């Protein structure tokens, strides 16, 4: 057994609540309540899906945010609450629980699936879709990527997408979205197996899958078409398979599970760098915990020493193989990885230090420039507090009930506490993205913590907890974490469709930009261009154009963000790098960007619309000539040789 109690644990609070809600007496396993039967579950999921879709229609019609947020959450709760109750019920048969997890996976994939089922809209989706297109056209992996250059070094997503495209006949985009849904389901099953293996209960696995399935990244971020959406599920599968290998007593099955775990780790390594890093950390915490437990048992001459030694070897072998694969991959195929990641961590730490020494000058305003209702913002703040309370409760339960846990479970729960370490980084502009990306990984440990509490909550409830208050309390906590996590994940333009709004990755997309991208490619080929952040996504994705990445050392933004001609130094860099075209969307002069910048965080006009005079002057300067024009977009051919020549003439 993975978990041993000093005294048998009673039925958990959640199963009691479900039976009370159904108005039923105790039933044998597998005889589900009529209120949780499949017709109701499927009807609720279908009705909730329709209501969520209606909320998207309201947002697209620019209705009040308070309205479409309420409609969205009504739809989600209608869809998710019945199937959640079926997954966690103590009288659900294991086979029915697996089918319920499949339906739960569908429900949690619905919001992103309806958000943009026809084409890419998220920033990373543009990059990965273009990468898949280039791989399919060339027949070779490792194609250069303008939007996210590091994608070229991690071809797992594009390789699987192109393979699915070739075998199924689906379009590349459809093949990619089907692939993401498939691994989304696989990941929830992996968490189920992890909970079942480490807590010795099918119901524990179901609770763990539900808790993980409502993590802040699950419903939108990790269901987009991107490398992390695949790799996070390889991460989960590796942990689950390693846990199964450590639990089995058959050497044959142990080798099979371990081999599958290493193969899954390999899939993670070739797909995503950050996922690989978190996998190594998680395996390390589990292996170290197992090592400490074995050392303690050696001193006590425990009879379970041989079993623990087998589990210890399994975790260390999985860790060693993963590290070797990662080092080999980065050394041979992905050398730019460290250079790509280091600025994010270094800058975020520096900004946090600045916040502690200054009066918030470097801080990031949470949920700024957002129309998210106040009640959802409050729940976003409350969700971590609920998880913290669960962590404290787990510690109390372990100490008072003397629950004996498998050492790898201890290690993974410690890994889950990293969720709390990430929260301060949300306040740092450079650390916010990394903090959000960590939640999909650390929540695997959080799910185990919450499951431990649910499985071993004492039956003699506190006196202040009334006889009929358990169900409302559990429902309130679940809804708080669900809504709060989604609210903390992504902002309004990512979650909801809407009318064109300048300065967002999602709602700044337009048919105009796609048309210009294709026309420029047809006329000039896959040339190098300078453009703003939002138009650049369309140009790179639909035209395969090589778009500049402005920085303080390469201030290409000066072509539109100042009233002066480019300096000889900038002109020289543009000429020598063959950036021969400038694409301008005049709406950058009509609206301030929603995200706060048009050219990244070093944009000289942060938070401001570009003065229209800066854009209209381009029609009269001698170094730019308009070659393509639409209602809002202008394409200019650059001729900066004369200005660049001044650098050679200067004394």
What does the radius of gyration of the chain's CA atoms come to, in whole angstroms?
A: 27
What pLDDT, on the 0 to 100 scale, is given for residue 373?
Answer: 96
Phi-psi region of 503 (alpha: psi -120 to 50; beta: other; left: phi over 0): left
3-state percent helix, strand, coil for the chain, nearest multiple of 5: 65, 5, 30
501's tokens: 């709004």
- Using DSSP's 3-state secondary structure scheme, residue 564 falls into coil
Q: How confident is the model at residue 18 (pLDDT cuts 50, 70, 90)?
A: very low
Percent with pLDDT over 70 in the chain = 86
- Using DSSP's 3-state secondary structure scheme, residue 88 falls into helix
With a cut of 60, say whether residue 502 has pLDDT above it.
yes
Q: How confident is the model at residue 204 (pLDDT cuts 50, 70, 90)?
A: very high
What pLDDT, on the 0 to 100 scale, is given for residue 550?
Answer: 96
575's tokens: 């000429």
Rounded-to-integer distance, Cα 483 and Cα 372, Å: 12
Rounded-to-integer distance, Cα 105 and Cα 92, Å: 17
Dump the DSSP string for 153-168. Answer: G-THHHHHHHHHHHHH
Rounded-to-integer distance, Cα 358 and Cα 377, Å: 26
Please tell me the least confidently modeled range out of 6-15, 177-186, 315-324, 586-595. 6-15
Contact between residue 435 and residue 423 where contact means Cβ atoms under 8 Å apart = yes
586's tokens: 């005049």
CATH architecture of 511-649: 3-Layer(aba) Sandwich (3.40)
Q: How confident is the model at residue 305 (pLDDT cuts 50, 70, 90)?
A: low
363 vs 114 pLDDT, higher one: 114
Other C-beta atoms closer than 10 Å to the C-beta of 434 total 17
CA 260-264-269 angle, 5° bins: 145
25's tokens: 């007496």
| Pick from 548, 554, 595: nearest CA to 147 | 548
With a cut of 70, say whether residue 464 has pLDDT above it.
no
What pLDDT, on the 0 to 100 scale, is given for residue 22?
Answer: 37
Rounded-to-integer distance, Cα 49 and Cα 47, Å: 5
Domain locations in the chain as residue ranges: 3-495, 511-649
Strands 633-638 and 624-629: antiparallel
What is the separation of C-alpha 209 from the centre of its chain, rounded to a whole number of angstroms?
16
Element (H, E) at 526: none
Cα distances (angstroms) measured from residue 490 to each of 34, 122, 573: 37, 11, 36
Mean per-residue pLDDT for 479-484?
98
Percent with pLDDT over 90 in the chain = 78
With a cut of 50, say whether residue 25 has pLDDT above it.
no
What pLDDT, on the 0 to 100 scale, is given for residue 308?
Answer: 65
141's tokens: 């992996």
Rounded-to-integer distance, Cα 493 and Cα 206, Å: 32
What is the separation of C-alpha 594 from the centre of its chain, rounded to a whole number of angstroms?
22
Average pLDDT, the chain: 89
pLDDT tens-place string over residues 333-354: 999 998 887 665 555 445 445 5
């Amino acid at each position: 057994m993975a978990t041993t109690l000093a005294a048998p644990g009673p039925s958990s609070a959640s199963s009691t609540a479900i039976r009370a809600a159904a108005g039923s007496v105790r039933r044998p396993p597998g005889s589900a309540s009529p209120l949780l039967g499949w017709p109701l579950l499927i009807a609720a999921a279908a009705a909730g899906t329709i209501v969520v879709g209606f909320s998207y229609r309201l947002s697209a019609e620019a209705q009040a945010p308070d309205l479409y947020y309420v409609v969205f959450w009504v739809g989600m709760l209608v869809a998710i609450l019945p199937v959640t109750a079926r997954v966690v019920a103590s009288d659900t048969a294991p086979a029915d629980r697996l089918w319920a997890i499949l339906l739960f996976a569908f429900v949690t994939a619905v919001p992103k699936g309806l958000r943009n089922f026809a084409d890419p809209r998220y920033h990373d989706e543009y990059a990965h879709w273009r990468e898949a297109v280039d791989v399919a056209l060339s027949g070779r992996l490792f194609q250069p990527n303008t939007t996210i250059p590091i994608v070229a070094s991690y071809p797992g997503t594009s390789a699987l997408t192109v393979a699915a495209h070739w075998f199924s006949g689906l379009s590349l985009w459809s093949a990619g979205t089907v692939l993401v849904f498939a691994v989304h389901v696989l990941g929830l099953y992996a968490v189920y197996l992890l909970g079942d293996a480490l807590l010795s209960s099918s119901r524990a696995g179901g609770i763990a899958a539900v808790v993980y399935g409502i993590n802040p990244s699950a419903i939108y971020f990790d269901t987009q078409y991107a490398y992390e959406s695949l790799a996070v599920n390889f991460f989960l599968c590796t942990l689950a398979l390693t846990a199964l290998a450590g639990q089995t007593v058959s050497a044959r099955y142990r080798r099979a599970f371990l081999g599958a775990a290493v193969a899954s780790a390999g899939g993670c390594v070739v797909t995503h760098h950050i996922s690989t890093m978190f996998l190594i950390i998680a395996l390390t915490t589990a292996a170290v915990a197992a090592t400490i437990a074995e050392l303690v048992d050696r001193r006590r001459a425990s009879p379970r020493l041989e079993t623990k030694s087998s589990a210890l070897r399994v975790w260390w072998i999985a860790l060693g193989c993963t590290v070797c694969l990662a080092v080999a991959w980065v050394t041979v195929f992905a050398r730019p990885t460290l250079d790509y990641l280091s600025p994010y961590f270094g800058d975020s730490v520096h900004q946090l230090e600045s916040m502690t020494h200054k009066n918030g000058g470097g801080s990031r305003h949470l949920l700024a420039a957002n129309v998210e209702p106040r009640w959802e913002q409050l729940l976003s703040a409350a969700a971590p507090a609920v998880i913290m309370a669960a962590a404290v409760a787990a510690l109390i339960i372990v100490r008072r009930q003397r629950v004996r846990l498998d050492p790898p479970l201890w290690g993974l729960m410690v890994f889950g506490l990293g969720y709390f370490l990430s929260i301060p980084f949300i306040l740092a502009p450079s650390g916010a993205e990394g903090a959000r990306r960590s939640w999909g990984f650390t929540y695997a440990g959080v799910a185990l913590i919450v499951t431990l509490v649910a499985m071993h909550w004492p039956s003699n409830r506190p006196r202040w907890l009334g006889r009929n208050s358990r169900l409302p309390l559990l429902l309130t906590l679940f809804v708080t974490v669900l809504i709060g996590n989604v609210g903390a994940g992504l902002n309004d333009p990512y979650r909801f469709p809407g009318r064109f709004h300048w300065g967002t990755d999602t709602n700044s997309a337009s048919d105009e930009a796609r048309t210009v991208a294709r026309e420029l490619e047809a006329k000039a080929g896959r040339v190098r261009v300078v453009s703003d952040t939002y138009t650049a996504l369309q140009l790179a994705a639909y035209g395969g154009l090589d778009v500049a990445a402005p920085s303080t050392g390469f201030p290409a933004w000066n072509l539109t963000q100042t009233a002066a001609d480019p300096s000889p130094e900038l002109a020289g860099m543009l000429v020598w790098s063959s950036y021969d075209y400038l694409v301008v969307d005049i709406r950058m002069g009509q609206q301030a960007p929603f995200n706060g910048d048009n050219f990244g965080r070093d944009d000289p006009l942060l938070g401001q619309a570009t003065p229209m005079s800066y854009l209209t002057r381009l029609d009269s300067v001698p170094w730019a000539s308009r070659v393509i024009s639409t209602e809002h977009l202008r394409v200019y051919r650059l001729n900066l040789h004369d200005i660049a020549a001044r650098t050679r003439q200067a004394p």
